[in-house]
Amino acid sequence: MKAEAVAFLTEHGFVQAERQPLPADASFRRYTRLVGGPRPALLMEAPPPQEDLGPYLHIAVHLATAGLSAPEVLAADPHQGFGLIEDFGTETVAQRLDAGEDPAPHYLAATAALARLHAVPPPDGLPDWGAVRMADTAAATFLEWWWPEALGEAPTEAIGVQFGEAIHAMLAPFAAAGFVHRDYFPANLMPLPDRASPADVGLLDFQDAALGHPAYDLVSLVEDARRDVDPALREACIAHYLALRPDLDAADFRAAMAAHAAQRHLRVACLWVRLARRDGKRHYLRHGPRCWALLGQALAHPAAAPLADFLDTHVPPALRRNPAGLETDAA
């Protein structure tokens, strides 16, 4: 551990705590469980310039004010990227599911928390997560990484323009300016059964939240890129969400889900390629088949027609998979 981190722990009374590093994810952030300190806590390291602790601190306050459970911030040094945060425990919802627990209570609780998250006005200062930004992020994985890997050459400028137009045409009808977590799935949720709903789900990794359409988050939950979700449970969650949000038009919301699902599944399927090729994290490729299958389901909805037409023109269905040159097994 760097001397700066030790000094931060010393300043706040945690230097004697046992340090248990937690597995790293696809970001630059690192977490260490601190056992035996003044209280259960995690050390979060978000090293600048790759990471910025400011959005995390800002959004944590917003979530708590909304009656949701974000880790309490015990101390922070945004300049150095250090935070001491509440420890919600050792098992995420994903780990509980992997252990064989009934997924329905977990998914329905997460859906209720999400409905509350979307119902309250968003905090100031969030970035945009609308059609233009979503087209850019999809292009950054699909065109910059998957395309040359799968097709053997970089896309032309005209292809880039057509792709951007397709994404924009698909998403523009569903413009919205509400809070979007952007990474709302079981690995970023913690079961807190001692708290009343909707605070019985601990929310993690919300620092990339933005202003967008709420359908994106529900897609992230019930069409998880990392695990299969039973279709009946998916439908139960959508119905539960809509019951908790009577202000929404159900048909319009379902159309928005299809459009946002198409963008997300294409972007994430190609993100696995970037992680494999650039970062050597080939184990993420095992999720590729699921993401491409989910993309196919989304493209069948009329709301996703602009992207479906683009892909039908340029990417035959047989190529909609992990590139043949990359190994798909865990490494």
Residue 9 is predicted with a pLDDT of: 98
Residue 329 is predicted with a pLDDT of: 47
- pLDDT tens across 247-273, in order? 999 999 999 999 999 999 999 999 999
Residue 25 is predicted with a pLDDT of: 72
Task: Name the more confident of 233 and 328.
Answer: 233
| Residue among 58, 54, 5, 61 at smallest CA distance from 34 | 5
Mean pLDDT in residue range 234-255: 98
Q: Is a pLDDT exceeding 90 seen at residue 1?
A: no
CATH class for the domain made up of 93-319: alpha beta
- Residue showing tokens 């137009």: 165
| Residue among 127, 140, 306 at smallest CA distance from 212 | 127
Residue 327 is predicted with a pLDDT of: 61
Mean pLDDT in residue range 86-115: 97
Mean pLDDT in residue range 204-231: 97
Residue 134 is predicted with a pLDDT of: 98
User: For 181, which DSSP code?
Assistant: -
How many beta carbons lie within 10 A of that of residue 258, not counting itself? Answer: 21
- Residue 26: pLDDT band by 50, 70, 90 thresholds? low
State the pTM of this model: 0.93
Helix (H) or strand (E) holding 113: helix 103-119
Helix (H) or strand (E) holding 211: strand 210-212
Identify the three-state secondary structure at position 137: helix
- Residue 24: pLDDT band by 50, 70, 90 thresholds? confident
Residue 326 is predicted with a pLDDT of: 87
Mean pLDDT in residue range 86-110: 97
Residue 331 is predicted with a pLDDT of: 43
Q: Is a pLDDT exceeding 60 seen at residue 319?
A: yes
Residue 4 is predicted with a pLDDT of: 96
Q: What percentage of residues in the chain have a pLDDT greater than 90?
A: 95
Q: What percentage of residues in the chain have a pLDDT greater than 70?
A: 98
Query: Hey, which residues does 82 pair with through a beta bridge?
Result: 45, 77
Where do the structural domains in the chain lie, given as residue ranges? 3-86, 93-319
* Mean per-residue pLDDT over the chain, rounded: 96
- pLDDT tens across 154-196, in order? 999 999 999 999 999 999 999 888 999 999 999 999 999 999 9
Pull the structure tokens for residue 263. 């963008």
Pull the structure tokens for residue 119. 């119902």
Mean pLDDT in residue range 184-212: 97
How many beta carbons lie within 10 A of that of residue 70, not counting itself? Answer: 22
**How distant, in Å, are the alpha carbons of 115, 162, 303 from that of 310?**
33, 7, 14
Residue 187 is predicted with a pLDDT of: 95
115 contacts: CB under 8 Å, gap ≥ 6: 198, 240, 241, 244, 245
Helix axes 250-279, 305-314, angle to 10 degrees: 40
CATH class for the domain made up of 3-86: alpha beta
- pLDDT tens across 31-80, in order? 999 999 999 999 999 999 999 999 999 999 999 999 999 999 999 999 99
Q: Is a pLDDT exceeding 80 seen at residue 328?
A: no
Task: Please tell me the number of Cα atoms within 13 Å of 34 on its side-chain side.
Answer: 28
Residue length, the chain? 331
